[in-house]
């Protein structure tokens, strides 16, 4: 779990401050403005937790763009934890597969195996 969480947090930090394009929070704020997309967003890891975080902290989606370092750290940790839970669920749902048998397999996305 520790290895996964370290890698997941690093990945989420990249998503908060990408080298190019919009951050995950900028995307969420933009998409949140379209009410018909909200049910879809609630099904997507990362977006789902960010919306829960906003609700729990009684802030609007656009206020997520202005979090202080402490709150942003909590949001990053929560999104990473959501990714971890999703990964565990996938492990339970899918049988072990010899992934090396697949052409182009580059290994576990977080370098765990």
Q: If you classify domain 2-101 with CATH, what class do you get?
A: mainly alpha
Q: Can you give the pLDDT at residue 109? A: 61
Q: Can you give the pLDDT at residue 35? A: 94
Distance CA 79, CA 12 (A): 7
pTM score of the predicted model: 0.77
DSSP 62: G
Distance CA 53, CA 75 (A): 7
Which residues make Cβ contacts (< 8 Å) with residue 9, sequence separation at least 6? 76, 77, 80
Alpha helices in 17-96 (DSSP H): 24-32, 38-41, 47-56, 69-93
User: Is residue 85 within 8 Å of residue 52, measured between CB atoms?
Assistant: no
Residue with tokens 């802030």: 59
DSSP 3-state helix, strand, coil percentages of the chain (rounded to 5)? 65, 0, 35
Q: What is the pLDDT along the chain (113 residues), one digit of tens a residue?
A: 888 899 999 999 999 999 999 999 999 999 999 999 999 999 999 999 999 999 999 999 999 999 999 999 999 999 999 999 888 888 777 766 655 556 565 666 655 54
Q: Can you give the pLDDT at residue 108? A: 61
Distance CA 100, CA 105 (A): 6
């Amino acid at each position: 779990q520790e290895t996964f969480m370290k890698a997941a947090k690093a990945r989420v930090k990249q998503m908060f401050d990408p080298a190019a394009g919009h951050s995950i929070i900028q995307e969420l704020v933009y998409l949140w403005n379209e009410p018909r997309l909200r049910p879809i967003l609630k099904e997507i890891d990362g977006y789902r937790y960010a919306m829960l975080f906003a609700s729990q902290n009684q802030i609007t989606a656009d206020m997520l763009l202005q979090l202080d370092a402490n709150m942003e750290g909590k949001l990053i940790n929560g999104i990473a934890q959501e990714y971890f839970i999703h990964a565990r669920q996938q492990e339970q749902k899918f049988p072990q597969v010899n992934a090396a048998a697949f052409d182009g397999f580059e290994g576990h996305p977080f370098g765990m195996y």
